[in-house]
Amino acid sequence: MSSNNNIVSFETEQLILVDSDDDVVGYKSKAECHDNDGILHRAFSLFIFNDKREVIMQKRAADKRLWPLIWSNSCCSHPRKGETCEYATTRRLKEELGLEAELHFLYKFQYHARWKDIGSENELCSVYIGKSSDLPAINDTEIADWKWISRDDLNRDLENNPDSYSPWFKMEWKEIQDNYWDRVESLYS
């Protein structure tokens, strides 16, 4: 496994503020978007599966402001001012995991989650799936650890250790299994 330590995330980067209809209403720094209860902004989550139907999971880096050392989905981030979600998802997958994959949009949802007294995620999040069996080259500034894991093993671990996983991942994984698993299966046809 190769890795890199390029810094790809900045508290000063301008994120896209949206309303609940996903209409752009302005721009604020990543730090401002995550302060206190947060400001609603555009985000995305990626789930990358391999040929064995396992999903790659990442443990967030120790110096992450929100949910450090917590397991989450393959990749999650924000489009920056001037970026489409399609561009940002491809960029971030390469920056965090060193992977390329054709990504398929599943759904969009709004959520709010607070991390201790440090800040919040307040996001309108687009969820995508893709397939790659390449070995990741993780970005050490973003990811502390990673693993490929089967659906059954992940569900078992989620049941036994729910606090080890990010709140958005838990919501997304349930929704994917309940309503979009046929789309995951279609990655293999």
**Residue-wise pLDDT tens digits, 51-87:** 999 999 999 999 998 999 999 999 999 999 999 999 9
**Active-site position among 33, 75, 76, 85:** 76
Instruction: Give the whole-number percent of the chain exceeding pLDDT 70.
Output: 95
Q: Is 85 a residue of the active site?
A: no
Once rounded to an integer, what is the mean pLDDT over residues 105-124? 95
Domains of the chain, with CATH numbers?
12-184 (3.90.79.10)
pLDDT of residue 60: 96
Q: What confidence score (pLDDT) does residue 72 get?
A: 98
Task: Decide: 103 and 127 in contact? Cβ < 8 Å.
Answer: no
Confidence grade of residue 6 (pLDDT, cut at 50, 70, 90): confident
Band (11; pLDDT cuts 50, 70, 90): low
Helix %, strand %, coil % of the chain (to 5): 30, 35, 35
Split at pLDDT 50, 70, 90, the class of 163 is: very high
Q: What is the structure's pLDDT at 12?
A: 75
At 114 the pLDDT is: 93
Residues 6+ apart with CB under 8 A from 14: 27, 28, 29, 30, 80, 81
On average, the pLDDT of the chain sits at 94
pLDDT at 3 over 80: no
Measured in residues, the chain has a length of 189
Judged against a pLDDT cut of 90, whether residue 100 lies above it is answered with yes
Q: Above pLDDT 90, what percent of the chain?
A: 92
| Residues 152 and 92: beta-carbon distance below 8 Å | no
Task: Give CA angle at 26 (24, 30), nearest 5°.
Answer: 110
> Residues 95, 96, 121, 123: which is the catalytic one?
123
Residue located via tokens 């978007």: 33
Average pLDDT over residues 88-95: 96
Degrees to nearest 5, angle at CA 64 with 106 and 116: 90
DSSP state, residue 134: S
* Residues 42-53 as b or e (16 or more Cβ within 10 Å = b): bbbbbbbbeeee
Q: For residue 10, name the pLDDT band (cuts at 50, 70, 90).
A: low
pTM of the model: 0.93
Q: Say whether pLDDT at 161 is over 60.
A: yes
Strands 3-4 and 138-139: parallel
Q: Tell me: the pLDDT tens digits for 31-57?
A: 999 999 999 999 999 999 999 999 999
Q: Is 33 a catalytic residue?
A: no
